[in-house]
Chain A
Amino acid sequence: DAGVIQSPRHEVTEMGQEVTLRCKPISGHNSLFWYRQTMMRGLELLIYFNNNVPIDDSGMPEDRFSAKMPNASFSTLKIQPSEPRDSAVYFCASSLDLRGGGDTQYFGPGTRLTVL
């Protein structure tokens, strides 16, 4: 089985542009997580979905960030407008979540975002 798939793997954009990151979770998994990783702040949970419904978006930094999960096999994280401080590696992870957020998470390869 394929693991979590993320695209693009690398994104370089200019400040003010819209950025859309994509994720396909492992088939059958019902929870999906978006993380951001930087040297300064480590691994931060941005938002997580359970059965396509956003459960906890308290980690979303500000209104410029939005996430959607229109179906069980696809999610997007959008940044509009992007800023240089958004530069980071963004990971998507999925899990077969039977207990509301605590099961083993399988991470995708990440998207390395650079905002110039």
Chain B
Amino acid sequence: GQQVMQIPQYQHVQEGEDFTTYCNSSTTLSNIQWYKQRPGGHPVFLIQLVKSGEVKKQKRLTFQFGEAKKNSSLHITATQTTDVGTYFCAGTSSNTGKLIFGQGTTLQVKP
């Protein structure tokens, strides 16, 4: 079945360093969504990308959707301690219409 893979699983950075998480699908996606889950919290929707090659920014966060619509990335510039949490990508299959979550990347930021 369709899989959405995320790497890395864990990332520890020093405050001020950049961070990137990557998401890859085995099949073409109609859209990709990103969610953030703070420790002890629940996943919260961040953004959705729909177009091939699309790039969106939210302050220090930059989201990209690949040209083939099978991969995506989230880049955080100059991390802060408030960025701590698990970042999930979720892709909607072009075939089935189902939203499939990746395993998540857990980010730790050392002050």
| Residues of chain A at the chain B interface (Cβ within 8 Å) | 42-43, 45, 56, 91, 93, 99-110
Asked if residues A100 and B97 are in contact (CB atoms below 8 Å), the reply is yes
Asked if residues B96 and A91 are in contact (CB atoms below 8 Å), the reply is no
Q: Is B68 among interface residues, defined by CB-CB distance under 8 A?
A: no
Asked if residues A107 and B42 are in contact (CB atoms below 8 Å), the reply is yes
| Chain B residue nearest in CB terms to A102 | B92
Of B14-22, B43-51, B55-63, B77-85, which stretch is located at the interface? B43-51
Number of B positions contacting A (CB below 8 A) = 20
Can you list 19 residue pairs at the A/B interface with Cβ under 8 Å?
A: A42-B103, A43-B43, A43-B104, A56-B98, A91-B42, A91-B43, A93-B43, A99-B92, A100-B97, A100-B98, A101-B97, A101-B99, A102-B30, A104-B33, A105-B43, A107-B42, A107-B44, A108-B42, A110-B42
| Chain B residue nearest in CB terms to A4 | B42
Alpha-carbon distance A45/B43, docked complex (angstroms): 13
| Residues of chain B at the chain A interface (Cβ within 8 Å) | 30-31, 33, 41-45, 48, 88, 90, 92-93, 96-99, 101, 103-104
Chain B positions within 8 Å of A108 at CB level? 42
Chain A positions within 8 Å of B31 at CB level? 102
| Chain A residue nearest in CB terms to B43 | A107
On whether A42 and B104 interact (CB within 8 A), knowing A104-B33, A104-B45, A104-B48, the answer reads yes
- Please name 15 further chain A to chain B contacts, defined as beta carbons within 8 Å, in addition to the given A91-B42, A100-B96, A107-B44, sorted by A numbering: A42-B101, A42-B103, A43-B101, A43-B103, A100-B97, A101-B96, A101-B97, A102-B31, A102-B99, A103-B99, A104-B33, A104-B45, A107-B42, A107-B43, A110-B42
Chain B nearest Cβ from A89, distance in angstroms: 8
